[in-house]
Structure formats: C-alpha cells, structure tokens
Chains A and B, each alone.
Chain A
Amino acid sequence: MIRASCLRFLYVISPPARWMYAAFAASVLTGSATLWLNPADVDSAFGSILLLQMFSASSGFAGSAARGYFDPILAGGRSRSRVAMGSLVASTAPGGAAWLLIVLVAAAMGRAGTALTLHRFVALILISTIAWAGGLALPRMAAGGLWAFVLLTAALSRDAVGGYLAVVQSPPAGVQDVLASAAAFAICPYLLLGEFPAARDPIVIGADLCVALTVAWSGFRYIDRREYSLVEPV
C-alpha cells in the first residue's frame, strides 16, 4: 500500500534529530578548516564524525516500532530484510555523507591516499553497524551513549589504554595477535584512524569487516524475528 521505499519511509518517519545534522555540518566545517591548516591531519576530521555517528546510527528502531510508527511498512508486504536495510541506511546515511565530504576535502588538499585507506573506512563501517544493531532495542542514541561511556571508562584506565596500544602497535605475529588486534579495533574503532601497524594488516581488517557484517546480520535478524506489539501511548 505504501508507495515510498522502505528507506524513504523510515527516513521520513524517524529521521535523525535536527541538531545531529547541525553537528555533522559543524564537524565537516571544522574538519575542512583543520585540513586546510594542516592537510596531514585527516584523522582528527574523521574522529569527530565517528563520534557523532555512534549516536546518530543508534536509531531506537524498536521504540518507534512499538508505538506503531512503522506499521505501514511492517504490515505492507515488504520483506523484513528490506525494512532492516532501510533502517540501517537511513540511520547511517548522514554520517556517511559527512565522511564522504571530508574525503573530498582531503582529496582536494592532495591527501586522497590517506583519506581513502581501507582501515579508516572500516572504522566508519564498524561504528555504523555496531551502533545501529546495538541501538535497535534501546532508546534512540542510547547505544552510542553506552559505547562512549565504556570507551571513556577504558580511556581513564591507564592499563586498558596501554593494553590496547600494545596490541595494535606491532604487526600481528599469529592468530592470537590477529584476534586481539581485531577485537581492540572492534571495541575502539578510533584506533583504526591512526597508522598503527596492526591497522594495515589485511587479515585484521578482514576480521573486523567480518565482525561488522556479523553485527549487521544480527540486526537484520532482530528486525525479522521480532514481534511487533503495540505499546499503549502515555
């Protein structure tokens, strides 16, 4: 019955907050200014976008669905996989667009090689998929908030930071090192923004891509198998 695509429907019904757009715009502007002043500093421009993406991708799908906002597409003959894909894209598109703008600015500054490295892109994919899937059953932005709290707590512990850095500062020597590096990057994708030796290892990056795909798949499965009861409005 709905003529609009799942992506458009979800984007219209549950768009990111307006202040989030403003924050992404500010992040792109400050990132561009940083790159203009110091073209080598691509990662600080990407870092602020990743931070915003943690919150933006955490869309709170289940809360909106429980209020019945998504009934027309969930009961409209669309496959749940398409609904899940629409939710993932609608939640992560603003951050993806901001990222792309920074890549273009970096390319204009002659830093395309740095901005387009695979490990930096994997950082965006990890943040987007984990925050999206983790946020499906939580209130909007809650997954981003929880994740940020965990990272902040870890950052305040010297041992934890030292442990993470020790893992990623040398190329992985065996399976255990690969797993440890991949886990460190999955927990803290910001580490992929540096030029750590482990971040340039294709096996580690492949493992993190598998993590992202698995997490996204679990999100698809959650949307597919979930029961959509209606919660009485307050």
Chain B
Amino acid sequence: MKARVSLNGIAKQYDGKRVLSDVTFSVSTGEALGVIGPNGAGKTTLLRIVMGLLRADAGWVRLDGEPVASALARFRAAYFAGESTLAPGVSARTWRSLFHDADDRGEARPFRLLSRGTRQLIGLKTMFSVSGIRLFVLDEPWEGLDPDASRWLTEAMRARRDAGATILVSSHRLHDLAGVCDRYVFLDRGFATIVTGEDVARNGVVTGDGLLAAFDVVRGRAR
C-alpha cells in the first residue's frame, strides 16, 4: 500500500536534551498507527513534527511523498492535541462554524463553562464531522472521555481507517489503542521501535496487557 506518512531519521532536541533520535517509519493509506511511550518520550513532539508545527533537527517527513507544507495545502488532514487547545472563550457552536459553512448547531456556551470530557468530545466530533479527511493525527484523544464517548471515538476511527484514511494516534490508554491500531511505534529515550499486531500477539488479537508486555520487552524490562 502507498505510504501516506513517511518519516526518515527524525531527530529533535530541546535545550540540548535529546527527545527524538533517528525515528524512521511510514504509515500507509487505510492504516492506523499507535504511538506509545512514557510521559516526556516525545510523542507530542513527533506528532507536531508530522503536522509541520515543529521542525526536525535532522531527517525528513513526507506526506504522500511531498514535503509537509505543500501536502497539507493539497489534501485534508486533521490534527487535535486535546481539549486544552480549544480557546476557552469560544462556544462549541462558533467552533463548529469555523469548520462548516452555515452550520449553527451545537452548544452555545463557551468552552470554559463545559466539562473537560465535553470539550474533548466536541473537539473530536467537530474534527470527525468534516468529510474527506485523509490523515488524522490525534494526541491522547481518549483522555477525559466517558465509556460511551470512548466507544464512539474508537468506532469513528475504525470507520475512517476502513474508508482509507490514515490515522496516527498517541495514547496511554493501551486497550483503546489496541482496538484501533494495526501497528505501534514505541518511543523510549528518544528511540522508536515499530511493532506489529503479530509481534504483540501470535493470534493477532492485541490487548492492552499484550501491548504493555511488548513495550516492556522493547525497554528491556521483560518480566
């Protein structure tokens, strides 16, 4: 399958501290890739490099074989880094109207008056309500969602993936990632290891516990 996202030799450091080192992988059309790692492992940095919000110190990113800026100008991509990135003074209705012409549906209260989970759900639902998106980049999307909303998100991601969209998603909720992703990238101390579903479970049925065990093996902490 054609690679929609390709990263080669990505390195990034902040104030002399190495965050990412020689990260190389690709994600195909219709594939979901989970990004797993402890806090500070560079997950958010990696996703922001993919979306062109941060520049890598070394290496390159291509989307559909093109540099990020020109590719994003050509096809629709969605990036959501969590409810904290929604401006508190804006209402859900106004937020939605930025993505859809002549659409006045939705909650009229500003985001700051809504619960964290509601904000997260509105942010995600707005993103998934836009048609024709070919790349979803989601940073901790299940964070703050209740079970019903989590189920909705998992199903929405599966549906978009099956329709040919590429999904790059980071999360600490391994059981949720296991329900959506085809492959996983483990980030630890700046280095990335790619793991397939078959690597995690011989029968291909990946569970959260299986992912955690595989991550422990990668980190040399196998029990």
A residues in contact (CB < 8 Å) with B: 1-4, 8-9, 12-15, 64, 67-69, 71-72, 74-79, 227-230, 233
Contacts and interface: CB of A to CB of B under 8 A. Distances in A.
B54 interface: yes
B98 A2 contact: yes
Interface residues of B, number: 36
Contact of A4 (B73, B74, B97): B97
Given A228-B53, A228-B54, A3 B87 contact: no
Contacts of B87: 13-14, 64, 67, 69
Contacts of B77: 1, 75-77
Contacts of B99: 1-4, 72
B85 interface: yes
Contacts of B51: 71, 75
Given A71-B85, A74-B53, A230-B81, A9 B72 contact: no
Contact of A1 (B76, B85, B86, B90): B76
9 smallest A-B Cβ distances: which pairs? A68-B85, A77-B72, A75-B51, A77-B73, A228-B53, A233-B84, A4-B98, A69-B87, A75-B79
10 contacts: A4-B98, A67-B87, A68-B81, A71-B85, A75-B52, A75-B77, A77-B75, A227-B55, A229-B48, A233-B84
Given A13-B90, A72-B98, A228 B48 contact: yes
Contacts of A69: 85-87
A90 B90 CA distance: 16
B6 interface: no
A9 B98 contact: yes
Contacts of A15: 89
B18 interface: no
A75 B127 CA distance: 13
B44 interface: yes
A75 B53 contact: yes
Contacts of A3: 98-101
B53 A1 contact: no
Interface in B39-89: 44-45, 48, 51-55, 69, 72-82, 84-87, 89
A234 to B, nearest CB: 10
A74 to B, nearest CB: 6
Select the residue from A1, A12, A74 with max chain B CB neighbours within 10 A.
A1
B88 to A, nearest CB: 9
